[in-house]
């Protein structure tokens, strides 16, 4: 289940890269999350009989949704459109670094020497990846990399904010509720682009990618990942997530013909080493269990 989820996420990055090159990025994100949110809500209603969240938890839910879905997806799709799928796969893998840093700032983790070493080398690896990113069609690659980094930071912030909710509700219910609220804010942003889109000129393959990104990379991965977390535990599940950028790069090279520079490889290796070293750090179950939303 974990390997299947990782492959679905990894394959999604180059697929989205193709789609946002043929349709407005906001229109794509809005269509994807409208479909994905509807499917997740139906699944939770069937499985649990309710999507209810206590009124006292609604402000926290809204903050998590706006940050972890709406803002994160806006930066993600525009970053991927401007940059490369390979760099996106590597840079989004830095989420555990930012999660650890934010958890330290808000007092959920107590920083030690290992934490600071992990963060130092992780950030150094990010710098190498950004510096080594190829420029496919101008100077937009740097902008894309920075937007993807901001997207990873937004997801890391969400991963910390959502911890109290994961202690009171199932991970699937939280995911469905967050996706629904985030989609309700995301759809109006993408609606103008959807209205002005010439649907006759959009290739059928783009709509196939929308369905895959929504039902495969969003809904099915949630079911696979959280089922696996219940069976093998969050730490072991997190170890599989680290494979996502590796497969993401492979798919980007095979499907898009992207080239990988030596600096990117070096930076990616430094990032992965720092993250793997950070696995020995004590972490809250809810933080580790947060799935990557790509």
Give the pLDDT of residue 178: 94
| Within-domain flag for 59 | yes
Quote the number of domains for the chain: 1
pLDDT by position in tens, the chain (length 294): 888 988 999 899 999 999 999 999 999 999 999 999 999 999 999 999 999 999 999 999 999 999 999 999 999 999 999 988 888 888 887 787 777 778 777 776 666 667 677 777 777 777 777 676 665 444 457 788 889 989 989 988 888 888 889 889 998 999 999 999 999 999 999 999 888 888 788 889 999 999 999 999 999 998 888 888 777 766 566 666 767 777 888 898 889 988 777 877 787 787 777 766 655 544 444 444 456 667
> Whole-prediction pTM value?
0.83
- Tell me how many degrees the CA angle 80-84-88 measures, rounded to the nearest 5: 65
DSSP string of 51-74, one letter each residue: ----GGGHHHHHHHHIIIIIIHHH
Give the pLDDT of residue 278: 59
| Within-domain flag for 293 | no
| Within-domain flag for 7 | yes
**How far is 271 from 275, CA to CA, in rounded Å?**
6
| Within-domain flag for 294 | no
| Within-domain flag for 8 | yes
Q: How many CB atoms lie within 10 A of CB 134?
A: 15
| Within-domain flag for 116 | yes
Please give the residue range of the domain that contains residue 263: 2-288
CB 160 within 8 A of CB 70: no
| Within-domain flag for 220 | yes
Give the pLDDT of residue 293: 66
| Within-domain flag for 187 | yes
């Amino acid at each position: 289940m974990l390997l299947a989820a990782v492959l679905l996420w990894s394959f999604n990055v180059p697929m989205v890269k193709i789609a946002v090159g043929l349709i407005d990025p906001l229109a794509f994100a809005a269509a994807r999350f409208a479909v994905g949110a509807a499917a997740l809500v139906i699944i939770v209603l069937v499985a649990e009989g309710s999507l209810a969240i206590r009124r006292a938890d609604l402000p926290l839910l809204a903050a998590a949704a706006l940050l972890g879905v709406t803002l994160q997806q806006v930066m993600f799709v525009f970053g991927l459109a401007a940059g490369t799928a390979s760099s996106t796969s590597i840079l989004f893998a830095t989420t555990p670094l930012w999660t650890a840093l934010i958890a330290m700032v808000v007092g959920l983790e107590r920083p030690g020497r290992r934490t600071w070493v992990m963060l130092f080398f992780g950030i150094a690896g990010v710098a190498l990846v950004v510096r080594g990113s190829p420029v496919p069609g101008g100077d937009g690659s740097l902008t894309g990399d920075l937007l993807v980094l901001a997207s990873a930071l937004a997801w890391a912030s969400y991963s910390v904010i959502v911890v109290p909710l994961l202690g009171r509700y199932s991970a699937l219910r939280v995911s469905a509720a967050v996706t629904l609220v985030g989609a309700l804010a995301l759809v109006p942003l993408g609606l103008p682009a959807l209205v002005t889109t010439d649907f006759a000129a959009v290739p059928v393959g783009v709509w196939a990618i929308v369905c895959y990104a929504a039902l495969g990379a969003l809904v099915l991965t949630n079911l696979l990942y959280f089922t696996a977390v219940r069976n093998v535990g969050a730490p072991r599940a997190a170890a599989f997530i680290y494979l996502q950028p590796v497969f993401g790069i492979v798919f980007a090279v095979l499907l898009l013909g992207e080239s990988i520079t030596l600096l990117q490889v070096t930076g990616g290796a430094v990032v992965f080493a720092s993250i793997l070293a950070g696995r020995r750090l004590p972490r809250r179950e809810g933080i580790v269990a947060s799935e990557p939303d790509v």
